[in-house]
Structure 1
Amino acid sequence: MENISLNQTGDTEGMLLCFPHLQGSCPRTLRLSVIRVAMYVFMLTTILMTVCGNLLVIISISHFKQLYSPTNFIILSLAVVDCSLGCLVMPFSMIRSVDGCWYLGKHFCKVHSSLDMMLCSTSIMHLCLVSVDRYWAICQPLQYRTKVTTVRVTVYIVIIWLISFVFSFGIVLTDVNSMGLEMLTNPCAGSCILVSNKEWGIIASLVTFFIPGTIMICLYVKIFHVARKHARFMNDRLATVTCHELKNQGSEQRERRAAKTLAIVMGAFLLCWLPFFITTVIDPYINFLTPADIFDALVWFGYFNSTCNPVIYAFFYPHFQKAFKIIIAKAIGLKTTSNILLSS
């Protein structure tokens, strides 16, 4: 989701231009070669980690039937979103970030900006849906199996994709977000920026971040409160449990561990995206004074959330950890079996 500052200069004399043969070309961003190389290395590494990590999640859930569950179908869809962001958005954003130029034309700029907003919004809404799923599993366990089914989860996922598509493409293609900013958004050749006026800066941020984020925080606070009560209750009964109760206790422990893992995912999401959305809301009220490089850095910090999710699963979620090991072992030619019990 991009929103680059308008704090640019119109003086191109003595500067390298994005399109030297065109009148009214944007100036290229001048950087030392070592800085350009460092930026490309960092961004390419982030893109590769995002794509490969989320592909591991996609392959794991698709390949191992033991991972088929409503929760994991949400995570599967989330991984598809994050992988798509790494393939379809981040490479083009990388070139624009380093050179300060958009070389692919006005129409593809619209498509890129729409996909950027759509995929980032969809990723955030998926994390919100995961928190709802965990709330039902931990706080309403008796109703969970009847209320949260694969069919219902699939419907919710489709709704999220549709809402994000209509909202994002609708905003970008109609330019409703830049109404009243015509004097500021007079683009030069090689520019591809997405700016929001005061109204739409608030509306878009509320819909795509602050409302889902608030829901997630409230639900996880409730989840941890219930999890602590369960933990105290089980400690009191530890000396008198039966074998059947031990089995139920292990199940509850796995549920709490999954909830904590997904809370870490939420924390990473807040850390990565909160600075960007705060700046998006504030920037129109300070006449877009935020430097372009600062805004660009915040965008990439937000992208980094899509890199973090599979890393968190690998280190904190035992089922995925075992599945990743099997897939990587097969990829490098080691003999293994996919019949290993992932739930052990």
Structure 2
Amino acid sequence: MNPSQPWTPVESLSLCYESVNGSCVKTVYSNVLKVPLYLVFAITIILILFGNLLVICTIVSFQQLHTPTNYLILSMAIADLLLGSFVMPPSMVRSLETCWYFGDFFCKFHSSADFTLCNTSVMHLMFISIDRYYAVCQPLQYHRKMTTRVSVAMILVSWGFSALFGFGITFSELKIEKSTAEEVHVICKGGCLALHGREIGVTYSLVFYFFPMFLIFSIYSKVFFITLKHIRAINNYPTGSSVNKMDMKATKTLAIVIGVYMCCWTPYFMCNIIDPVVGHTIPALLYEVLMWVAYLNAVFNPMIYALFYSYFREKSKLLYEKLYKLCKRAY
């Protein structure tokens, strides 16, 4: 960068592969911008790995936490852990280098895993809302209907359906847009196109995000009004309600989890719907920013559990003490 020129985040434009015909154009960002962003993204990934690993280990290690609701939380934490382990590091390089250097096959695998894990989280939240519906609205039937077997079935459906869609639609190379000279998406060497901005992205957003979110919102609206009735019953007749305070607190905490998820992911999916309407004019940089805002959801979930679940904090502390003693003995 010429020191006589005012600072700009973009130093120059070049090619991803200088000696390859049909290479994508590469935007070269200034190190003043790129280095801090690498640091921020790396810290975000580390927080996701350690936070969700703590959730997983805590639930697995204590028999008291082996409940249908916690199995769903455990499975969702695994999805977030995989997102931080396998999806976000390559995404970090693609976002900051503006090129894909990991090959065509891994591009497809990476996109498939990204879609699969996103779909898995949405479906887990939908099943969690059903779990909370029975816990609050039909408490006398909860333990009969929401068994461990039902919870495991929900988990298998979430992962199986999401993987079928995520990997099937990517590796089948399904395309909705017409192949014309005015085609918006041009495949070039060093690029890795996802579903965003394509007409299929609209279908994906409506069917696999907004429709489940509508169901979740509808279910939780009913749960919310029933919860208010139970709170009044507990205040007026402390022993007259069949729903205990722990269930209601868990419902409130999981409602926060869903709310945070919607805040993180809705802007990204709104772009998927709006982009074709405005002629695919939404900048790719905006997609990258919203994608990372969405990824931040995987950081927030363990924090919410730690802040609002006292028993989770207690069990996590016990787990830490056990690990500390084991390490002390080893050395």
Question: Is 1:64 the counterpart of 2:62 in the alignment?
Answer: yes
Equivalence map 1:324-343=2 (5 Å): 324-333=316-325
Post-superposition offset of 1:28: 2.0
SS at 1:16's partner residue? strand
- Partner Cα distance (1:334, 1:233) in 2: 47
CA offsets 1:135-194 (integer angstroms, 9 cap, x no match): 111101111111111011111211111110111112112232443256322222100111
Residue identity opposite 2:154 in structure 1? Y
- Partner Cα distance (2:259, 2:23) in 1: 42
Equivalence map 1:1-344=2 (5 Å): 15-180=13-178, 183-195=183-195, 199-238=199-238, 252-333=244-325
TM-score of the two chains, using structure 1 as the length reference: 0.86
- Partner Cα distance (1:179, 1:169) in 2: 19
Post-superposition offset of 1:199: 4.5
Q: Name the residue aligned to 2:5.
A: none
SS at 1:176's partner residue? coil
Query: Is the alpha carbon distance of 1:335 and 1:19 closer, same or farther for their aligned partners in structure 2, counting shifts above 3 Å?
Result: closer
Query: What is the number of equivalent residue pairs in this alignment?
Result: 315
Post-superposition offset of 1:326: 2.1
Residue identity opposite 1:204 in structure 2? Y
Contact kept? 1:220, 1:263, Cα under 8 Å: yes
Post-superposition offset of 1:237: 2.1
Post-superposition offset of 1:334: 8.9
Residue identity opposite 1:313 in structure 2? Y
Query: Is the alpha carbon distance of 1:146 and 1:95 closer, same or farther for their aligned partners in structure 2, counting shifts above 3 Å?
Result: same
Query: Is the alpha carbon distance of 1:307 and 1:181 closer, same or farther for their aligned partners in structure 2, counting shifts above 3 Å?
Result: farther
Residue identity opposite 1:280 in structure 2? N
Residue identity opposite 1:224 in structure 2? F
Post-superposition offset of 1:228: 0.8
SS at 1:15's partner residue? strand
- Partner Cα distance (2:322, 2:290) in 1: 37
Contact kept? 1:19, 1:189, Cα under 8 Å: yes
- Partner Cα distance (1:43, 1:99) in 2: 13
- Partner Cα distance (1:108, 1:172) in 2: 11
Residue identity opposite 1:314 in structure 2? A
Unpaired stretches in structure 2, ≥5 consecutive residues: 1-11
Query: Is the alpha carbon distance of 1:118 and 1:323 closer, same or farther for their aligned partners in structure 2, counting shifts above 3 Å?
Result: same
SS at 2:34's partner residue? helix
Q: Percent identity?
A: 40
- Partner Cα distance (2:236, 2:277) in 1: 56
Query: Is the alpha carbon distance of 1:291 and 1:199 closer, same or farther for their aligned partners in structure 2, counting shifts above 3 Å?
Result: closer
Post-superposition offset of 1:332: 4.2
Q: Tell me which of the two structures has the higher relative contact order, counting C-alpha pairs closer than 8 angstroms and 6 or more residues apart.
A: 1
- Partner Cα distance (1:68, 1:195) in 2: 37
Moved more, 318-327 or 134-143: 318-327
Unpaired stretches in structure 1, ≥5 consecutive residues: 1-13, 337-344
TM-score of the two chains, using structure 2 as the length reference: 0.90
Post-superposition offset of 1:205: 0.8
CA offsets 1:118-142 (integer angstroms, 9 cap, x no match): 1111111111111110111110111
Post-superposition offset of 1:333: 4.5
- Partner Cα distance (2:216, 2:311) in 1: 23
CA offsets 1:79-137 (integer angstroms, 9 cap, x no match): 11110011010000000000101001111101111111111111111111111101111
SS at 1:288's partner residue? coil
Post-superposition offset of 1:323: 1.8
- Partner Cα distance (2:19, 2:232) in 1: 72
CA RMSD of aligned residues (A): 2.0
Contact kept? 1:178, 1:196, Cα under 8 Å: no
- Partner Cα distance (1:204, 1:79) in 2: 23
Moved more, 201-210 or 148-157: 201-210
- Partner Cα distance (2:158, 2:302) in 1: 21
